[in-house]
Each structure stands twice: as C-alpha cells, then as structure tokens.
Amino acid sequence: MSERNLRRDIVETARAMNANGINQGTSGNVSARTEGGFLITPSGIGYDDCTPADVVRMAMDGSAEGRLKPSSEWPLHRDLLAARPEINAVLHAHPPYATALACLGRGIPAFHYMVAIAGGRDIRCAAYATFGTQELSRAALEALEGRGACLLANHGMVALGRSLKAVLMLALEVETLARQYLSALQAGEPNLLGEAEMDVVLEKFKAYKTDNGGRDGR
C-alpha cells in the first residue's frame, strides 16, 4: 500500500473509533508500520478535522517528520511495533466498558469463548503506568505476551493487528466483550470456561484463519 493510501486509512480508522463509540474527542491514537518506521495520528487534533497530511511519519529512533507533533503515546506504538514484527497496526482507545474494567484493575476472563479472539484464554489488564512513558510500554508488552489486545489499568485499551481493518475489528470485539462481562457481573459471577475448552476454541480459531486465507478473526 502506498503511503498516501495508508495515511488515508489511518484517518478513516481514527474516525471510525469515534463513530463506533470506542473513543471520543482527541483521545486515542492509531499507527501503522512503514518501511523503516511508522505513521501515527497527530496530537491534539479532533479526528473529524484531521487530514491524511496531518498524520506524522516517525522513525524507530523517535524522530518525527511533519508540521504537527505525534501523539503523546508514540513510544507505546513504537515499542509494540518493534517487539511484534508480525503486526502492522496499533490502536489505542478509551472505550467506556473496557476502560471501566481497566479502572477496576480487572481483565476479561474466559466468560465467553470469543475472548479467544485476542489470542489467549483471557484478556489481561496491564499494570498502571503514566501515559507516554517507557513504563507503560513495558507494562503493555507484558500483558500482550501471546495476545493481540489488553486493557491498560486506569487508562483504556490497546489492540494489535496485521492491518488497520483487523485492528479496528479486534478493538470493537474487545469492547463488546467488556460490555457483556460487566453486564453479567451485575447479575452475579459469570460461569467461566475451563482452560481445556479455551484451548479447543483457540485451535478452532487457528483453523478458521487458515481456511480463510489467514484473515484475523473468526
């Protein structure tokens, strides 16, 4: 994909976050891998006003090109892209339900088999760290080990994907699961699926991806 089209798709993804209710205002950020670095949404601009030209190009050493400053969360995006060569896109947002769980310091356990969409038996909640810091990157990397998404304590959620489309769909699914889990908690403690069953589900998800040309999701 050309950089021009990638810039367009980053803006469209950022706008879709807000349109789908998983983000609001200028919070949240989106990035995509490029040759030698990545593109990321700018700091302090509402996504309805953001244009492809506003997207900031960054090198992996943290240097930036463009008339605007990159998102303050660029170290998180850089570190995730560097540590996970199989992914090409990172989405960070503050979805209402996922953030509510994160503020309780709770991840999402195996209350529903779709939890496996994030790559494991549960969706972890990373330890709290100040936004924009290396400590946050380290906490997120730990929670994301073997996973495609995690919650960030007292902060929000982050999702990884092989494409911008895939990472948006995963983020939406995680927020749906967070809403369902919180709703179930209002009635009591949900029944949790056992490790053996979740392992079966994970294998079925792998087979689904293979049967469908390696696409993300179920």
Q: Report CA-CA distances (Å) from 51 to 11, 23, 36, 89, 91.
A: 7, 18, 23, 19, 18
Report, as residue numbers or ranges, the catalytic residues: 73
**DSSP alpha helix (H) spans, the chain:** 3-19, 74-83, 96-103, 134-143, 164-187, 195-211
Read off the DSSP letter of residue 213.
T
Q: Which residue has the tokens 């946050």?
A: 136
> Are the C-beta atoms of 163 and 89 separated by less than 8 Å?
yes
Tokens read off for 211: 């049967």
What distance in Å separates the CA atoms of residue 190 and residue 194, rounded to the nearest whole number?
A: 12
5 exposure class (CB count in 10 Å sphere: 0-12, 13-18, 19+): exposed
Gap between the Cα atoms of 84 and 137, Å rounded? 12
Nearest residue to 40 via CA among 48, 28, 49:
28
